[in-house]
């Protein structure tokens, strides 16, 4: 253990006096050990054969994505065929009532999220565009539902959300985005 000194250094600040005590020996060994470690680590990992953690992570993630490719999402035509089934749309409405009403309102008129009933769109009007927004989310507030809903549920709720277009909500949010071309409206 290091020898302590009872002689103050002469510094006095608000009644606090500083003594000239050495650092603990264990702390000095750790400090010098870190310096030695740095002299080995930097050349080996930054200039030698070592793989940095970021590079190892990138390689692991590339391998993981190769082994687990993202699912191939349905096309507009496939979604249109699915939407013809009343049970499919009823399931989409049930999911919408649980997951979507807090942002888009029960009648689709929009609260925090955009109005789904008007002839304007922020991210697209086609079935597959709506489904991609539900699946991936947006950078402006909508979360990605791909980790919380099954792919079937995403298809259902996206189809139901598209079916809200043209309805008259009780309290509609102001139009956002761009107007949908009248040739594309049903």
Tens digits of residue pLDDT in 141-160: 899 999 999 999 999 999 99
Superfamily of domain 76-179, CATH level 4: Cytochrome c-like domain (1.10.760.10)
Return d(Cα 173, Cα 42) in angstroms, integer.
Answer: 58
pLDDT at residue 186, rounded to an integer:
58
Domain limits, the chain: 8-67, 76-179
Best CA proximity match to 87, nearest among 165, 154, 156, 7:
156
Q: Do 170 and 107 touch, CB atoms closer than 8 A?
A: yes
Q: Which residue did the predictor score with more confidence, 59 or 179?
A: 59
pTM of the predicted model, to two decimals? 0.66
* Cα angle 177, 178, 182; round to 5: 140
Share of the chain above pLDDT 90, in %: 62
Check whether 7 has a pLDDT greater than 90.
Answer: no
Length in residues, the chain: 186
Return d(Cα 24, Cα 172) in angstroms, integer.
Answer: 70
Confidence of residue 58 (pLDDT cuts 50, 70, 90): very high
Q: Establish how many alpha carbons lie within 13 A of residue 141's alpha carbon, considering only the half-sphere containing its beta carbon.
A: 10
* φ/ψ (deg, to 5) at 120: -125, 150
pLDDT digits over 80-94, tens only?
999 999 999 999 999
pLDDT digits over 60-113, tens only?
999 999 999 988 999 999 999 999 999 999 999 999 999 999 999 999 999 999
């Amino acid at each position: 253990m290091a020898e302590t000194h009872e002689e103050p250094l002469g510094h006095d600040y608000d009644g606090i006096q500083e003594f000239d005590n050495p650092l603990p020996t264990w702390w000095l060994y750790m400090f010098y050990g870190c310096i030695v470690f740095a002299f080995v680590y930097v050349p080996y990992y930054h200039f030698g054969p070592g793989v940095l953690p970021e590079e190892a992570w990138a390689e692991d993630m590339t391998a993981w994505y190769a082994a687990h490719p993202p699912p191939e999402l349905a096309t507009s035509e496939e979604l249109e065929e699915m939407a013809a089934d009343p049970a499919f749309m009823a399931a989409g409405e049930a999911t919408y009532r649980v997951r979507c009403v807090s942002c888009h309102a029960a009648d689709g008129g929009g609260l925090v999220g955009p109005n789904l009933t008007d002839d304007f769109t922020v991210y697209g009007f086609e079935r597959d565009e709506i489904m991609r927004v539900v699946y991936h989310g947006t950078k402006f507030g909508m979360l990605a539902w791909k980790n919380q809903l099954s792919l079937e549920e995403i298809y259902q709720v996206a189809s139901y959300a598209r079916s809200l277009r043209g309805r008259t909500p009780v309290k509609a949010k102001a139009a956002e985005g761009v107007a949908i071309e009248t040739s594309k409206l049903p």
